[in-house]
Amino acid sequence: MARLDDIPEPTRTTVANLPCPTFETTPFVSGPKLSERRVAIVSSAALIRRGDAPFAVGSGEYRAVPASWNSADILMSHVSINFDRAGFQRDINVVLPVDRLRELVAEGRIGSVAATHFTVMGSTDPAAMAEAADGMAAAMRADNVNAVVLSPV
Amino acid sequence: MAHMLEERGLPTTVLALVQPHVETIRPPRAVMTPFMLGRPLGEPNDAAFQRRVLLQALRLLERSDGPVILEHFPDDNPSWFDRPGWTPSVALPPPGAYQGSAAWQKAFHTELEAVLPAWERFKARFGRTTVGLAGQPPQAWAAFATSFLDGALPSVPHLDTPALALRFLADDLKALYGEAVQADGGPPSARQIDGWFWRQTVAGQLLIALRALAMQSDNSALKTVGGRFFVPVPFVSG
């Protein structure tokens, strides 16, 4: 894991003590074999298109990241300064593996890539994210997505 | 979010960076990785490595032994470790001690001019830049940032407050330097980049000075932004 011991203080303590939600239900949705799945990514990196307004601190919004966007137009507006960005600087796939998904489609490993991926501000309290979950889920169902890769930073 | 999406009918799989969180939340499916925060797919510019990570997460979707399926990804990404013999792609003189905004502006402007060619090499090599939040070109940064040292509170049209203007200028500044220093050769570790930026550049020292100033400011937004969003705590003292 991102080894807690390797995370400098005070981030280490913050991360270790972060209140995490627990749930009474254990949903588990099955689907077709992987080669028939339509895959979307949900990134917590508060990604925006160049020129768009950045995410606000504490924002519970979600935004679309169309698969058609040029990777050169995608910026990260996450508020935290306590995670590495050098990997994202070199290669968007470290955070949003769009090229990897396209390759997997070409190889027949997955069925297709969703028309739209999604992004949120990962530092927002999960309790404030239900509406975003509703919106993203509706959009993904409309796009026949049946596999979601969550890629948190 | 995985739980919420799964409840809404969408099969999910998580690239999980923090094991204690996964063990508490217990999402439907997760691959627990050893990568540092900010790198869910582990290694930049290593398609084979990223593919292994991604496929392991995707394959969890084919398992039927839920409702909670957790696996470990076994390998560190190569640039988790410091790169032996790494040198920055831009050679800079060590920062000095500066008194007053004019001295800071001159020093930062001079340094930035020296960094820009490496940044151009980075952009040509990797085809993109993550600079662009501030809405100001790099040539404007020195005057804008150092004006805060005189007590000014300048703003930019597309950002609501001077605090946000300076916060996103800081983000862009860190991104530009981070990209420039990686322009050549293989990837250094994040530690190597951070150590170089915060201890060996005028830009890093300027952000540390701006943080100190912001935390004394009567402008509450600037105080909050400066205290939390300029300088990681390990580098606050320079």
pLDDT digits (tens, 9 = 90+) for B5-61: 999 999 999 999 888 888 888 999 999 999 999 999 999 999 999 999 999 999 999
User: Is there a domain that residue A117 lies in?
Assistant: yes
- A53 is written with which tokens? 């307004």
Helix orientation angle between B162-181 and B101-126, rounded to the nearest 10 degrees: 50
* Cβ-defined contact of B9 to A29 (cutoff 8 Å): yes
| Number of domains chain A is built from | 1
Residues 6 or more apart whose CB falls under 8 angstroms from that of B152 comprise: none
Chain-chain contact of B38 with A149 (C-beta, under 8 angstroms): no
- Where residue A18 falls among pLDDT bands split at 50, 70, 90? low
Are the Cβ atoms of B25 and A21 closer than 8 angstroms?
Answer: yes
Residue ranges of domains in chain B: 10-80, 101-235
Structural domain boundaries, residue A142: 34-151
- Chain B: residue nearest A60 by CA? B1
- State the nearest Cα–Cα gap between B237 and chain A, in angstroms: 14
Give the gap in angstroms from C-alpha A68 to the nearest C-alpha of chain B.
Answer: 16
Provide the shortest C-alpha distance from residue A67 to chain B (in Å).
17
Q: What is the CA radius of gyration of chain A?
A: 16
- pLDDT of B180 reads 98
Decide if A103 and B51 are in contact by the 8 Å CB cutoff.
yes
Whether the Cβ atoms of residue B216 and residue B186 lie closer than 8 Å to each other: no
Nearest CA in chain B to A54: B133
How many angstroms away from the CA of B123 is the closest CA of chain A? 9
B18: nearest CB among A15, A85, A141:
A15
Which residues fall within 8 angstroms of residue B106, CB to CB, at 6 or more apart? Answer: none
Nearest to B5 among A2, A126, A137 (CB): A137
What does the pLDDT read at residue A128? 83
pLDDT of A4 higher than 90: no
Alpha-carbon separation of residue B45 from A2, A111, A153, B128, B204 (angstroms):
20, 24, 17, 13, 27
Q: pLDDT tens across A79-97, in order?
A: 999 899 999 999 999 999 9
Partner residue opposite A133 with nearest CB, options B8, B40, B47: B8
Flag whether A90 is in a domain: yes
Q: How far is A38 from chain B (nearest CA, A)?
A: 11
Residue in chain B lying closest to A144 (CA): B10
H or E segment at A147? strand A147-151
What ipTM was reported for this prediction? 0.95
How far apart are the C-alpha atoms of A90 and A103, rounded to whole Å? Answer: 19
Instruction: Mutation target for B interface from A143, A144, A150, A153: give the one with most B CBs within 10 A.
Output: A150
The reply to whether A9 falls in a domain is no
- Considering the entire predicted model, what is its pTM? 0.94
Question: Cβ contact (<8 Å) for A86 and B187?
Answer: yes
Cβ-based contacts of A79 with chain B (< 8 Å): 229
CA distances from B61 to A32, A43, B74, B137, B193 (A): 9, 18, 19, 45, 37
Chain A residues whose beta carbon lies within 8 Å of the beta carbon of residue B3: 21, 23, 25, 27
Chain B residue numbers with beta carbons less than 8 Å from the beta carbon of A90 are 44-45, 126, 182, 187
Nearest by CB to residue B7, choosing from A11, A25, A51, is A25
Q: Cβ of B67 and A26 within 8 Å?
A: yes
- Tens digits of residue pLDDT in B94-118: 999 999 999 999 999 999 999 999 9
**B140-192 pLDDT, tens per residue?**
999 999 999 999 999 898 888 999 999 999 999 999 999 999 999 999 999 99
